[in-house]
Amino acid sequence: MHLIATGNKGVAEAVLQAQPDVVAAYPITPQTEIVEQIAAFISEKRLDCQYIPVESEHSAMAACIGASATGARTFTATSSHGLLYMHEMLHWAAGARVPVVMANVNRALGPGWNVWAEHTDAFSQRDTGWLQVFASTVQEVYDTMLMAFRIAEDEKVLLPMMVNLDGFSLSHTMQPMEKIETGTFIPPFSLPHAIDTLHPVAYGPLTGPDEYFRFRADMERSMRSSRLVIRDTEAEFARLFGRTYRETEEYQVEDADVLLVAMGTFGKEAEVAVDKLRKEGIKAGSLRVRWFRPFPRLDLAGRDIVVIDRGYSFGFGGVLSMSIRATSRAEPYSVIAGLGGQEVTYHDMADFVRDRKPGKEYWFGVKDDV
C-alpha cells in the first residue's frame, strides 16, 4: 500500500503492525502525534493493547519496564526533555534486559527553550545500554521501526532500542511511504526471564561488588552480538521487501577524495552537496551514519573527512566527529551545525568541504572563534 505520510505517522503505522501488548504514553512536542495516532488505532479497534496514559515520561518508561518484564511487547515515544526525564529508567530497562522499543523525535534542549531538531537528546543517553539508530526518510522510519522489534527482542540481544528521527524536518514532513505485509517477519515475543508467579524472581535487588560487573559485561556482549543480529535482520528485510539498509549509507564514495559525514536528515542533504561538488570537479562522497549504538567500524583511511556535528559534548568536541576519531583514527574537520534547528543547506555543506581544515573544529554561523 502506497501513501503519503509524516515521520510520526510512519512510526505509528509500524507500531500498529508490530501489535504491542502495552503502550505507555505521555505527550511532548514534536512527538505527540505518534501516541495520539496509536490511541486512535486502539479506539478504532485496529490495535488490541493496553494503553497507559501516564503522568510523566519517567512513569512511561517505568510502565514499559514493568510490562516488558512480564513478557509483554512494549512501546513508547518521547522527545528532548522527556527523554532526559526518563534517564534513570533507561538504565533500568537496559540493565533488566527488557527490550522496550521507543521512538525518539530528536529535539534541542533548553535553555533557551527550543522545539527544533538536534541530536543532543539522544547522544546524551549513549551510555545507557540502548541500541540507537537514526533515520533520514519517512520510509526508513517505518521500515526501521518494524525491524526494531525483531532486533531488540532477539535472544542474542534483549536490549532496549531507540529509533531516532529529526523533529519537524522528518517528524512532520510528508513523503511517499510504502506499507508492507510483514507476515512472520516480526516473530512472537518470548522473554526468557519473564516474571512467572509460579517461579518467582526479583528485579533490581542489591548486587555486590563480586557480581555487579558481570551484569555490565553481559550487556556489552549482547551489544556486540547485536551487530550480527542487525545485519541479518536488515538482510532478511531486503530479501523480503526489496529495501536495503546497512549501518552506514554510502553515496559516491568509491573514488572520493573527501567524505561528508552526517546523521539523520542531514545525511540526505549531504548527497545533494556531493552532486554539486562533483560538477565542480571535486571528488566528494557522503557517508550517513545510521547506527550510533553499536557504533560502526569505519574504514576512512586515505580520505579527508568533513563531519557535520548536530550534537556537542562540552569540553570535548562534536560527538560524531570524536566518535569517528576514536574508532577510525581519522582526523576529521568537525563542523558544528544545525543545533536547535539552525538552517544548513547543501550549499553550506559544499562550502564546508571546500574550506575544510582537517583536525580542526568550526562552529557554523559563529563569527568569533569558540
Residue 42: CB atoms within 10 A of its CB come to 15
Q: What is the pLDDT of residue 348?
A: 98
- Domain assignment present for residue 83? The answer is yes
| CA dihedral over 353, 122, 155, 218, signed as positive or negative | positive
- The closest alpha carbon to 126, from 287, 263, 323, belongs to 323
- Domain assignment present for residue 265? The answer is yes
- Regarding whether 225 and 157 lie in a shared domain, the answer is yes
CA 131 to centroid of chain Cα atoms:
8
- Domain assignment present for residue 200? The answer is yes
Residue 252's domain is classified under what CATH number? Answer: 3.40.50.920
Q: Are 170 and 267 in contact (CB under 8 A)?
A: no
Q: What is the pLDDT of residue 18?
A: 98
Of 213, 241, 269, the one marking the end of a domain is 241
What b/e sequence results for 97-108 when a residue is b if at least 16 CB atoms lie within 10 Å of its CB, and e otherwise?
bbbbbbbbbbbb
**Total residues belonging to the chain:** 370
| Digitized pLDDT (tens) for each residue of the chain, 370 residues in all | 999 999 999 999 999 999 999 999 999 999 999 999 999 999 999 999 999 999 999 999 999 999 999 999 999 999 999 999 999 999 999 999 999 999 999 999 999 999 999 999 999 999 999 999 999 999 999 999 999 999 999 999 999 999 999 999 999 999 999 999 999 999 999 999 999 989 887 777 899 999 999 999 999 999 999 999 999 999 999 999 999 999 999 999 999 999 999 999 999 999 999 999 999 999 999 999 999 999 999 989 889 999 999 999 999 999 999 999 999 989 999 999 999 999 999 999 999 999 999 999 999 999 887 8
Q: What is the pLDDT of residue 149?
A: 98
Which residue type does 285 have? Answer: G
- Domain assignment present for residue 369? The answer is no
- Regarding whether 253 and 185 lie in a shared domain, the answer is no
- Regarding whether 202 and 252 lie in a shared domain, the answer is no
Of 222, 241, 260, the one marking the end of a domain is 241
Q: What is the pLDDT of residue 277?
A: 98
- Domain assignment present for residue 319? The answer is yes
- H or E element that contains 236: helix 212-241
Which residue type does 346 have? Answer: Y
- Regarding whether 183 and 52 lie in a shared domain, the answer is yes
Question: Which domain range does residue 193 map to?
Answer: 2-241
Of 184, 215, 241, the one marking the end of a domain is 241
